[in-house]
Chain A
Amino acid sequence: MSITDTGSRLTNGIYDRTLQADVLVIGGSIAGAWAALSARLAGASVVLAEKGWVGTAGVVAANGGGGHYILPGDPKQRAGVLGARYPETEGLANIPFLEEVLQESYRCFTRLAEWGYGNGSICSNQNANSMAFLRKKLVEHKVKILDHSPAIELLLTDDGVAAGAAGVSRKTDETWAVRAGAVIIATGGTAFLSGAMGTNGVTGDGYLIAAEAGVDMIGMEFSGHYGLAPLNGNSTKGGMFFQGHIFDENGERLDPLPSWFAVPNVAKALIEGRRVYTVLDKAKPENWDNVIRNVPNFYQYFVRQDKNPFDTLWPTGLTYEGTVRASGGLAVGNGCSTSVPGLFAAGDVTDRTKLTGAFLSGAGPAIAWCVASGEWSGRSAAAFSQEVGETKHARTARPAGRAGVRPQHHAQLGAREVIKTAQDEVLPLEKNYFRNGPAIQASLDTLNSAWDGVCEGLSGGTAREVLKSREAASLVAAGRWIYSAAHERKETRGLHRRSDYPERDDSQRHNLRVGGLDKVSVSVLDVPLSLPPVEVVV
């Protein structure tokens, strides 16, 4: 190993390890794991590079969740699952597309059952177990897993085709590169390090590396989402709140509609300085033990402090969940391709407005999309790599990373300060829940200035510093895209709320495409008429 530091070796293309594969997958939670298996089963050799450890990394292993599907031959169930959340999409969802996704997820979950996971839930309470199962499958099928190996930048040919990625090994300070015939980005959304359970690894890295190749995002303005959680706890499992009731300090009910539907009232109370309390009072005492056993991660907060959440009020707060549960992300087309040849994307990192419109993708559609998009991107990437053929590893490819990895001058900034700057604009309820023009502009001014600072002088020496610098750059970038889109949508719709434009404006029933690095641009993308699913007459 050279005596120069990890950061210098990376920026100079000196790699301690170089691997070759037909398909490289970046990100190893459920979407990435599924994509890797899909590509492998399509005959490709696969490397899966994960920032943490495949099996515990990502939101699913820590926080859990269930996936939706359509049961064949059950028209009532089909109409029900397509229609249950339709009104909240506010005209931006594509129901025929959602149907294809839920048919694919049915096939994927069936395959999971055939592999032997037939009597367990995919995610819910057995979250960590299902991810551990997928890791075993990956190993069994000889997917090469690189744990603790964050990808820092893409490698692109002179024609701008994706040809692999380079990164660092967090625990050994090594640099690595993977040359590939195709690359799949499955790096998740971002909650800006709010502490929402399981989200500390998802810092928007995938948006930045894709943008450096030329990919744009859609729906980033639908990101004003905060999850209910115990006030000094971190498990934002909204599903739990359907089991109880929420009050303010005066005893006023805040949840005529439960859980995430009540978040606007809770946000308003908190912004106005009123404290909020929850009691999970729908379960009968004889069922309490069962309820706790069913969702162990959420209930640790209470059990470990000898608190009873079912018959006492407990202080409640809101923790930012951002694009993890919301709906925006990388623009993807057929087969989960992006606008960059050889580059595909799956899971929470992608635009999900076609599934759930302007509202949450969480608790059902998102995980269905993770497996379906994993399945599709894996096949597409395997096919693309096959098409590239013999030249795939011989092509000249250059690293595309700039902000946070190749600053214009010597490193001057600390990554943690930069992260704090981004968080200060995105996490506060007053700025991001009820947005308004002047506040958005003020945040953009701060973030744009932070971006200039990052490009000027942010980088790292050790592997951990390299990673933190890139994460900091990614968060600043994500904040700019979110607020640039929010600035252009002059209405309130779904997870984008403007106090200066508090009504929905039907002439803005379109999507916004946002992209660019030094200069961010926003454009309108027309959306086909969104027809509700046909109701089944009983």
Chain B
Amino acid sequence: MIEVVLADRCISCGKCALVCPNDVFDGETGDIPEIARQDDCVTCYLCEAYCPVDALYVSPIPAPDPVIDLESLVNSGRLGSFRRSLGWDKRQPGATPEAPPPGALPAIFRGAPGGPGDAHRVSSYSPGGPNADHARSPFAEAHPEGFAELIPAE
């Protein structure tokens, strides 16, 4: 959920309050936004994506998580990481990706769904089928000592 608005970075552009699909923030251009309805936050990270100055932090836990150390957060490199993963530090949201080379199939069509190895095709998992190796777990094979020690502590 959204946990942190860094007031000293915020430029009061009002974007987060505008773009949040669940109306979590109060505030317009000129205000520092307030997290007014945290319970409605759906942990989608889109406010972070639209914040031009990386002044927001969304905890990945979809429940209030008040124990966030601001100093280590700022030093962690996480601020703005989601925005960078979308390339929005370098391009505007919705910017047209560069065109494919002439004659090349658009990227949309390079997936060619439904092939014999399609993950949703049940028959592909039969012995000898393209996905038959799903039967093996490399993790289980790497840890023959048994399970109890591998389960994370509560």
Residues of A near any B CB (own CB < 8 A): 51-53, 55-58, 61-63, 66, 68-69, 71, 77, 79-85, 87-88, 106, 109-110, 112-113, 115-122, 126, 128-129, 131-136, 147-148, 170-171, 195, 197-201, 232-234, 239, 242, 244-245, 247, 249-251, 253, 255-259, 261, 275, 277, 279, 281-282, 293, 296-297, 300-305, 311-315, 363-364, 464
Contacts and interface: CB of A to CB of B under 8 A. Distances in A.
A234 B43 contact: yes
A290 B99 CA distance: 22
A68 B19 CA distance: 29
B146 interface: yes
B108 interface: yes
A85 B120 contact: yes
A276 to B, nearest CB: 11
Interface in B110-133: 111-116, 118-123, 125
A232 B61 contact: yes
Given A52-B20, A69-B108, A197-B42, 14 more contacts: A84-B121, A85-B121, A88-B122, A113-B100, A117-B96, A118-B108, A120-B97, A126-B86, A129-B88, A201-B22, A279-B137, A297-B44, A303-B78, A363-B120
Contact of A52 (B23, B49, B63, B139): B23
Given A58-B21, A304-B60, A249 B97 contact: no
Contacts of A61: 21, 44, 46
A133 B94 contact: yes
15 contacts: A52-B20, A56-B20, A62-B46, A71-B109, A85-B121, A87-B122, A112-B108, A113-B108, A116-B97, A122-B108, A133-B95, A148-B23, A245-B140, A293-B85, A313-B139
Interface in B130-149: 134-135, 137-140, 146-147
Contacts of A148: 23
A300 B45 contact: yes
Contacts of A279: 137, 139
B67 interface: no
Nearest to B50: A56
Contact of A305 (B19, B60, B96): B60
A367 B106 CA distance: 18
Contacts of A82: 114
Given A118-B106, A133-B94, A249 B120 contact: no
A258 B125 CA distance: 9
Nearest to A533: B114
Interface string B84-110: 011110000111111110000011110
Contacts of B78: 303-304
Contacts of A255: 134
Given A52-B23, A62-B42, A242-B119, A109 B108 contact: yes
Nearest to B139: A281
Contacts, number: 215
Contacts of B93: 55, 128-129, 132
B29 interface: no
Contacts of B137: 245, 253, 279, 281
Given A250-B147, A314-B152, A261 B122 contact: yes
Nearest to A243: B119
A301 B43 CA distance: 10
A202 B152 CA distance: 34
Given A232-B63, A296-B85, A52 B22 contact: yes
Contacts of A297: 44-45, 82
Contacts of A259: 119
Contacts of B121: 84-85
Contacts of A53: 18-21
Contacts of B49: 128
Nearest to B148: A251
Contacts of B109: 69, 71, 106, 109
Contacts of B40: 200
Contacts of A62: 21, 42, 44, 46
B122 A118 contact: no
B94 A233 contact: no
B151 A313 contact: yes
B94 A296 contact: no
B10 to A, nearest CB: 19
B12 interface: no
Contact of B113 (A234, A261, A364): A364
